[in-house]
Amino acid sequence: MRVGFSFNVALKLVKEDISKYSYLFKVDGDAILPSDYLASLMKSKPLVAGYGPAMLISTKFFRAVLKGVCSMNYCDDNFATVKR
């Protein structure tokens, strides 16, 4: 729940049009990822990829399906994956 809240607040604070980006990358502060993790996810040009601590979300998907808001529940990563 707090991840979704933090993600939404960060997007508001940035005050930048996210449509100029292909993806949003949601990463927990304590996540340890392989150095090729992001490149590996991006190869298939997914709508949503990854898992809870590190998810890649297409900005088009984020704006159209999630209505530009990260889910505010305890399973925000599962919500995005199911919506895909």
Read off the pLDDT of residues 44-60 as tens digits, 9 standing for 90 and up.
999 988 877 888 999 99
Read off the pLDDT of residues 36-47 as tens digits, 9 standing for 90 and up.
999 999 999 999
> How many Å apart are CA 20 and CA 73, to the nearest integer?
27
Beta bridge partners of 54: 27, 51
Question: What are the domain boundaries of the chain?
Answer: 2-83
Read off the pLDDT of residues 17-27 as tens digits, 9 standing for 90 and up.
888 999 999 88
Type of residue found at 1:
M
Instruction: Give first-to-last CA distance, the chain, whole Å.
Output: 19
Contacts of 26-35 with CB under 8 Å at 24 or more apart are: 26/54, 26/55, 26/56, 26/57, 26/70, 27/53, 27/54, 28/3, 28/52, 28/53, 28/54
